[in-house]
Amino acid sequence: MKTNKLAGSGGSTSSIGAGASIGAGSTGGAGTGGGSTSSGGRSFLLSELLKVKVVDAATGKKLGAFKDCVIVEFAAIPHMTTLVVKRSFGRPDLLIGAELIEAIGPRRVTVRIDELAKHEKPLPEGSVLLKDFVLDKKVIDLEDREVSVVFDVKLLRIEATRKIYLTDVEFGRRGLYRRLRLGWLADLLGVEEDFVSWSYVQPLPQSLGSFSGDLKLKALKEQIEDMPPVDLADIIEDLDGPQRDAVFGQLDSEEASDTLEEIEPNVQRQIIATLDDRRAAHLIGQMTPPQAADILAVLAWDEKKDILALLDEGDREKITAIMDRQEESILDYATDRYIMLGSDTKIGWVEDHYDTVARDKDVTMYVYVADGEGRLAGVVDVRELLIADNEATLGEVMTDVVVALEPGQTLRDAYELFQRYGFRAVPILDKERKNLGVIVYKDVMGLKHRFVA
């Protein structure tokens, strides 16, 4: 089965496979002794904080225990406004503003207050209590199907502002085991976490109370199992500064790098300004040179200079050449992270091992096929693999007429080729048809700063 041209939509996509949670990369489990730290702050689970002693920072005396907290919804994620402290001997609860919390963790919460009597007051009418109103609520989707129960809630404290955000809800079995103090059993059974970002939860209804009401998702559960970077970018762009930093700081490196590429330039700069140079360089280093150049183009020279100094020398030279337009050599835009296999490789083998061979690759939509001498013999669209006979070889199903670029051609040539054919990636071949790299569609056609001008 051979074709004259590769099928393509003119753009490449990526899947982050990170589950539904924005914060899934930094969860502090029960008994961690202090939550987990990310560049955005420190995260905790509500179950870790309940009944933890609350101490006066000035005197060191115990005031009571963490009973609950009041949350307020705004933008995409809520934040804590008030800590509710339960006291012994029938004394009234204390209401302490979240801004007065000096330290918070699974072992103690430290607050700094002046007069105790000021905090002995009833809850304002309409207050939404996180534990009482949200924990153990049923979760339903848009089709009113019961999805699960909220077994836990993830909180994130930004030390610079002292604000505490509600970033995720958990309704997986791991949360249930943790609540039952059976976290060790969840580890033994390999039970995975099941967090969903609060941005996927509809605003809490006014009628929600301690004993009635459900949480409702904004989408079907199946639709939020795998949030693509472009959707994460949309969410992050809608947040204010502290919230944006909180959410972005919870992403793992791959998610953060992919999402950063999709964010608008002015927000990119604001985010990078909050990162230390090493984390910024790490995220940018996972991008292809054109993507990295596109990101760095929004920064002031002093900022980009410090980040460039931390990058691999080869990448740094390519990125600098692109930004400075010292040359338009197409090789500066090429990636060497693509899939290339021998022509005698069977289709069944490729399907069975695709996850492994495609790992950490920039180009995953095509499999390039090499002959016995290492020359490019053809290319196979991964969609062709699904309908090909498993016993057939790549050489039998490949497209052997391959449109390619030469190393001396320019970015303008690549731009025109993509416009003409609509390919999602194009190889660069030398005179012996050895593959020198691959140009990705979005690296040329999707650049916000148009190096093709």
Q: Is 19 a domain residue?
A: no
> Is 182 found in the same domain as 46?
yes
Question: Per residue in 288-344, pLDDT tens?
Answer: 888 888 888 777 777 888 999 999 888 888 888 777 664 556 787 888 999 999 999
Q: Is 437 a domain residue?
A: yes
> Is 93 found in the same domain as 130?
yes
CATH number of the structural domain spanning residue 254: 1.25.60.10
Number of domains in the chain: 3
- Predicted confidence band at 10 (pLDDT cuts at 50, 70, 90)? very low
| Domain limits for position 347 | 333-445
The better pLDDT of the pair 68, 40 is held by: 68
CATH number of the structural domain spanning residue 42: 2.30.30.240
119-128 — which CB contacts under 8 Å span 24+ positions? 119/85, 119/94, 119/95, 120/91, 120/92, 120/93, 120/94, 121/92, 121/95, 123/70, 123/84, 123/95, 126/206, 127/70, 127/82, 128/70, 128/71, 128/72, 128/73, 128/204, 128/208
> Is 246 found in the same domain as 307?
yes
Asked which of 69-73, 100-104, 232-236, 300-304 is least confident by mean pLDDT, the reply is: 232-236
Find how far residue 209's CA is from the centre of its chain. Answer: 33
Mean pLDDT of the chain: 77
Of 6-10, 217-221, 336-340, 408-412, which one has max mean pLDDT? Answer: 336-340
Query: pLDDT value at position 209?
Result: 57
Q: Which of 189, 207, 223 delimits the end of a domain? A: 223
Mean pLDDT of all residues in 156-169? 83
Question: Per residue in 252-278, pLDDT tens?
Answer: 788 788 888 888 777 887 888 888 889
